[in-house]
Structure 1
Amino acid sequence: MVPMRTGSEPTTARSALRLRFWLSVWGLIWAIAGTAAFALAGRPGWAAACGVLWLIVTADMTMILRHIHQGPHWQPGRDVPPYRPPEHRHP
């Protein structure tokens, strides 16, 4: 049986911010390494592509860190229960 949607998922959704942070770190390492490797290999197009990816990952990491620092609303701990779905159901 598939549970019914409450219609409030976008407002009650949570994100695994710590996991996203570590995946961003992994992507940042690869973007920096790719930028350096392609620049040293004389491939400016690929180096530029990796540089753009580096900027995107850095911006994403900045947003993730901001949400982590905002507290339990963005990154609930084990002591914060999940949001309750709305009590009313539409037919």
Structure 2
Amino acid sequence: MFLMRTGSEPATARSALRMRLWLTLWGLVWAIFGTVAFALVGRPGWALACGVLWVVVTVDLTLVLRHIRQGPHYQPGRDIPPYRPAEHRHP
């Protein structure tokens, strides 16, 4: 069976928020570890870089959790069918 593309894939794409959540948590652990480790060995530049990364990862984690809590519109489960492509009518 050959499935044709409709051309609406970018408009109907869904984000893998749960995977992004776990990757963000993994990055958060490493950013905290890097900040503390570089601060303890006296590398303030690297500690600052890891600290900035820590802030970026925390903001991303907040956004991911917000989208997950907004419900099935942003994180649809297997029981929610895919969005129908927009039908374009040409005059």
- TM-score range (shorter-chain normalised) is 0.7 to 0.9
Distance in 1 separating the partners of 2:89 and 2:27: 42
Alpha-carbon offset, residue 5 of structure 1: 5.2
Q: Report the 3-state secondary structure (helix = DSSP H, G, I; strand = E; otherwise coil) of the residue aligned with 1:14.
A: coil
Give unpaired runs (5+ residues) of structure 2. Answer: none
Gaps spanning 5+ residues in structure 1: where? none
Relative to 1, partners in 2 of residues 1:30 and 1:89: Cα closer, same or farther, differing over 3 Å?
farther
Q: Which TM-score applies when normalising by structure 1?
A: 0.86
Structure 2 residue 15 is matched with structure 1 residue 19 = no
**Closer, same or farther: CA 77–2 of 1 in aligned 2, 3 Å:** closer
For 1:25 and 1:71, the matched residues in 2 are separated by 20
State, as a whole percentage, how many aligned pairs show the same letter. 71
Can you list the C-alpha shifts for 1:7-65, whole angstroms capped at 9, x where unaligned? x4444221000000000000000000000000001000000000000000000000000
Describe the shift of the 1:51–1:76 C-alpha distance in structure 2 as closer, same or farther (beyond 3 A). same
User: Mapping of 1:47-86 within 5 angstroms?
Assistant: 47-86=47-86
Pairwise CA RMSD of aligned residues? 2.0
Q: Secondary structure at the match of 2:27?
A: helix
Asked if the contact 2:35/2:47 (under 8 Å) is kept, the reply is yes
